[in-house]
């Protein structure tokens, strides 16, 4: 697939920077100077990004170096930092591509109409998509889970990544045939995403062959959740469902914080 260079670092594989959510310091979608010269300017950014993604895919996080990325992209080290503030934002770009893949795979499972099947399919799709990177998952997650930066589970900054993930589970809920109350349908996607988060955490540590234990966990979890849903209709359990809702509301409100300079609504 990729042309091998002298030290395995020369290859630049893709061409299209895959996603589009890429929005660095210099907006690539604003073609003010993108046309200058023989393709330099804005194209450089894509070059670096492609090299980074390829390296992440082939070598994982730890063994991908900024110097290697720069070399693959035929730019200087400093230039890579000109477009991407840190290695971390590069890895977030990588997550975005994985999430794209997840969504693509999930589409198939979303053909089903039974909730349990839909959920199970989407969860398995996620694991399928991540499978190639299981060996590196540990070092990846290290920079992902943390609320210090955008792609964290909680954290007020409305990450596009998180919204997209929750949106996927919203599809799971909304397309289901069974009667899910409207109130529940509002909370459920977030809860499912939380469950998916836990499963992912488990998956990272799962050393069983082909991560079969995580697959079992997915089966068990989706069965459990689908059995749990009807219970919300039982009058005697109203108080607990209300509690769960309250808990979610508690978690949901964006964290108030000092560094709110970044535009939070536009874009």
What are phi and psi for residue 266, nearest 5 degrees? Answer: -60, -175
Does an H or E element contain 62, and which? none
Instruction: For CA atoms 98, 100, 105, 106, give the dihedral sign.
Output: positive
Shortest distance (Å) from residue 64 CB to DNA? 6
Among 8, 36, 198, 205, binds DNA (CB under 7 A): 36
With vertex at residue 118, the alpha carbon angle to CA 117 and CA 120, rounded to the nearest 5 degrees, is 65
| Residue nearer to its own copies on the CB measure, 36 or 254 | 254
Q: How many CB atoms lie within 10 A of CB 244?
A: 15
Position 166 contacts its own copies (CB under 8 A): no
Note whether 61 and 3 are within 8 A (CB): no
| Residue nearer to its own copies on the CB measure, 23 or 255 | 255
Q: Which two tokens stand for residue 266?
A: 């536009």
Position 24 contacts DNA (CB under 7 A): no
CA nearest to 64, candidates 80, 75, 52, 78 = 52
Binding-site size, its own copies (CB under 8 A)? 47
Among 22, 50, 68, 118, binds DNA (CB under 7 A): 68
Segment interacting with its own copies (CB under 8 A) among 73-81, 92-100, 139-147, 179-187: 139-147
- Give the interface with its own copies as residue ranges (CB under 8 A): 138-139, 141-143, 145-148, 152-156, 194, 198, 201-202, 204-208, 213, 216-217, 220-221, 223-224, 227-228, 231, 237, 239-240, 243-244, 246-247, 250-251, 253, 255-258
């Amino acid at each position: 697939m990729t042309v091998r260079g002298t030290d395995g670092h020369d290859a630049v594989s893709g061409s299209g920077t895959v996603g589009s959510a890429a929005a660095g310091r210099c907006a690539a979608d604003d073609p003010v100077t993108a046309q200058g010269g023989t393709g330099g300017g804005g194209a450089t950014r894509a070059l670096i990004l492609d090299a980074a993604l390829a390296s992440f895919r082939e070598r994982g996080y730890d063994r991908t170096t900024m110097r290697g990325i720069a070399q693959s992209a035929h730019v200087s080290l400093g230039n890579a930092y000109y477009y991407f503030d840190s290695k971390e934002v590069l890895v977030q770009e990588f997550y975005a591509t994985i999430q794209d893949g997840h969504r693509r795979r999930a589409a198939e499972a979303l053909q089903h109409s039974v909730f349990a099947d839909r959920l199970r399919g989407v969860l398995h799709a996620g694991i399928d998509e991540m499978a190639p990177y299981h060996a590196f998952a540990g070092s990846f997650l290290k920079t992902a889970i943390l609320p210090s930066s955008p792609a964290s589970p909680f954290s007020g900054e409305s990450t596009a990544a998180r919204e997209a993930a929750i949106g996927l589970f919203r599809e799971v809920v909304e397309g289901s045939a069974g009667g899910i109350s409207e109130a529940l349908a509002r909370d459920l996607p977030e809860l499912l995403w939380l469950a998916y988060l836990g499963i992912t955490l488990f998956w990272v540590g799962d050393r069983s062959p082909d991560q079969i234990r995580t697959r079992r966990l997915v089966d068990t979890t989706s069965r459990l959740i689908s059995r749990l849903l009807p219970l919300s209709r039982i009058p005697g359990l109203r108080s607990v469902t209300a509690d769960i809702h309250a808990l979610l509301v508690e978690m949901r409100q964006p964290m108030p914080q000092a560094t709110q300079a970044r535009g939070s609504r536009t874009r």
